[in-house]
């Protein structure tokens, strides 16, 4: 009987130990969290180019003017302990399911640096990306999104088609939107609520940009 009790206690200890080992240092998608620096009720729009010469996150547009959309991610494991030195290449941005074709070049939407001792990293530098999206932006960890449905952050680009290059085909798509097409957001490159002359200059300066 004593042996049986000791065996039971030992088994429980092993299970607890295994559970602790399983969560230590492994990001928990429900406990980890991300936010943008933009205020509540503000919809930031990133202007991206495949060559990385689009806007920084601090230069994101909104209908009220320029807004800081810098993303800060805090990575925690299942014990709410910060996950330090987690590889930047394993943290990236994608669009949520829905409208648009926002897509990044290889490595073009990863975090700016490995997580620090507090488990924190950011997205502040320009993305190497194209396409557009007016749905939430997902923060992906090892290919899975953080719990919560993503961040209020939209995207547009001179690469309207999202094929990795701003080219002649994008000029045709822009012209369609300029003359009353059904998809004005993707061509509102300055994001002021209208496709107008100002957007033509932004498009022209972006033509020729492509993924490295």
pLDDT confidence of residue 194: 94
pLDDT confidence of residue 11: 46
Contact (Cβ atoms closer than 8 angstroms) between residue 190 and residue 63: no
pLDDT confidence of residue 92: 98
Express each pLDDT in 97-152 by its tens digit.
Answer: 999 999 999 999 999 999 999 999 999 999 999 999 999 999 999 999 999 999 99
pLDDT confidence of residue 40: 86
Among residues 202, 82, 103, the alpha carbon closest in space to that of 162 is found at 103
Give the number of residues written for the chain. 212
Which residues, in sequence order, are CB contacts of 129 under 8 Å at separation 6+? 48, 49, 50, 54, 102, 103, 104, 105, 108, 109, 155, 157
Which residues, in sequence order, are CB contacts of 96 under 8 Å at separation 6+? 135, 136, 137, 138, 145, 149, 150
Contact (Cβ atoms closer than 8 angstroms) between residue 95 and residue 125: no
A 10 A CB-CB count for 13 gives 10
9 versus 159: the higher-pLDDT residue is 159
The ranges assigned to domains in the chain are: 27-206
pLDDT confidence of residue 101: 98
pLDDT confidence of residue 12: 43
Which residues, in sequence order, are CB contacts of 84 under 8 Å at separation 6+? 115, 116, 117, 118, 119
Express each pLDDT in 34-74 by its tens digit.
Answer: 999 998 889 999 999 999 999 999 999 999 999 999 999 99
Q: How far apart are CA 204 and CA 115, in angstroms?
A: 37
* Distance from the Cα of residue 31 to its chain's centroid: 18
pLDDT confidence of residue 14: 38
Task: Give yes or no for residue 15 having a pLDDT over 60.
Answer: no
Q: How far apart are CA 69 and CA 114, in angstroms?
A: 20
| Strand arrangement of the beta sheet that strand 45-48 belongs to | 65-67, 60-62, 45-48, 154-157
Contact (Cβ atoms closer than 8 angstroms) between residue 188 and residue 160: no
| Strand arrangement of the beta sheet that strand 71-74 belongs to | 33-36, 71-74, 120-123
Task: Give yes or no for residue 174 having a pLDDT over 70.
Answer: yes
- Under the banding of pLDDT at 50, 70 and 90, the label for residue 182 is confident
């Amino acid at each position: 009987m004593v042996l049986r009790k000791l065996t039971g206690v030992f088994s429980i200890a092993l299970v607890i130990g295994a559970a602790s080992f399983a969560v230590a240092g492994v990001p928990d998608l429900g406990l980890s969290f991300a936010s943008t620096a933009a205020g509540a009720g503000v919809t930031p729009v990133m202007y991206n180019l495949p060559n990385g010469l689009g806007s920084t996150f601090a230069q994101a547009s909104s209908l009220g003017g320029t807004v800081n959309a810098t993303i800060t991610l805090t990575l925690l494991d299942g014990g709410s302990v910060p996950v330090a030195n987690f590889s930047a290449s394993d943290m990236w941005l994608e669009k949520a399911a829905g409208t648009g074709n926002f897509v990044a070049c290889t490595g073009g939407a990863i975090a700016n640096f490995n997580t620090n001792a507090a488990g924190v990293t950011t997205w502040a530098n320009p993305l190497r990306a194209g396409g557009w999206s007016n749905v939430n932006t997902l923060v992906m960890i090892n290919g899975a999104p953080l719990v919560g449905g993503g961040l209020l952050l939209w995207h547009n680009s001179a690469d309207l088609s999202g094929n990795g290059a701003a080219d002649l085909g994008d000029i045709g798509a822009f012209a369609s939107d300029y003359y009353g097409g059904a998809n004005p957001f993707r061509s509102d490159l300055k994001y002021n609520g209208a496709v107008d002359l100002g957007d033509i200059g932004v498009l022209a300066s972006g033509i020729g940009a492509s993924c490295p």
